[in-house]
């Protein structure tokens, strides 16, 4: 069972919001004594997902949580946007697939960098991506 110990929210509407967001994620990761490599992986994944939110949905809300599953602590990030949604998630999760002008690495790359990855999307309503990185994961 995963318990949420602490919750924080941030609104992302423009590119300049990304750096303060990354810094805040790092702050919480340091607070739960996450190692540097895992911190870097988490923040890189977060950076990919926040870019998707800005590029495809003109921004959204991010919930930052410190979670625990007993002995292990972790950071859970929930990216929620009200954008156009992703019509085919399987396709979007494939390396190199993009509808924009990026490399198509954002979603599959972010998934590889974290321990838990969940994506839900409804056409016309928006997309929610949840990731968890455990301190020792």
- Residue numbers at the binding site for another protein (CB under 8 A): 15-16, 18-19, 22-23, 26, 36-37, 39-41, 43-44, 47-48, 51, 95, 102-103, 105-106, 108-110, 112-113
CB-nearer residue toward another protein: 84 or 105:
105
CB of 120 to another protein, least distance (A): 22
CB-nearer residue toward another protein: 44 or 135:
44
Reduced DSSP (H G I as helix, E B as strand, rest coil) percent helix, strand, coil of the chain, to 5 = 35, 30, 30
CB of 123 to another protein, least distance (A): 25
Task: Say how many C-beta atoms besides its own lie within 10 A of residue 95's C-beta.
Answer: 11
Looking at residue 59, the DSSP 8-state letter turns out to be: -
Q: Is 107 exposed, middle or buried (0-12, 13-18, 19+ CB in 10 A)?
A: buried
CB of 37 to another protein, least distance (A): 5
Measured CA to CA, the distance from residue 65 to residue 8 in angstroms comes to: 6
Measured CA to CA, the distance from residue 137 to residue 132 in angstroms comes to: 9
CB of 70 to another protein, least distance (A): 26
CB-nearer residue toward another protein: 40 or 135:
40
């Amino acid at each position: 069972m995963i318990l949420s110990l602490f919750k924080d929210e941030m609104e992302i509407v423009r590119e300049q919001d990304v750096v303060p967001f990354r810094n805040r994620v790092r702050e919480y990761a340091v607070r739960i004594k996450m190692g540097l490599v895992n911190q870097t992986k988490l923040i890189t994944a977060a950076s990919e997902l926040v870019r998707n939110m800005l590029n495809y949905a003109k921004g959204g809300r991010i919930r930052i949580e410190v979670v625990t599953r007993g002995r292990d602590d972790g950071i859970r990030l929930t990216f929620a946007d009200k954008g156009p949604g992703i019509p085919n998630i399987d396709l979007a999760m494939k390396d190199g697939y993009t509808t924009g002008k990026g490399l198509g690495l954002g979603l599959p790359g972010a998934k590889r960098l974290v321990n838990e990855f969940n994506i839900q999307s409804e056409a016309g309503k928006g997309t929610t991506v949840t990731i968890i990185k455990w301190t020792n994961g």
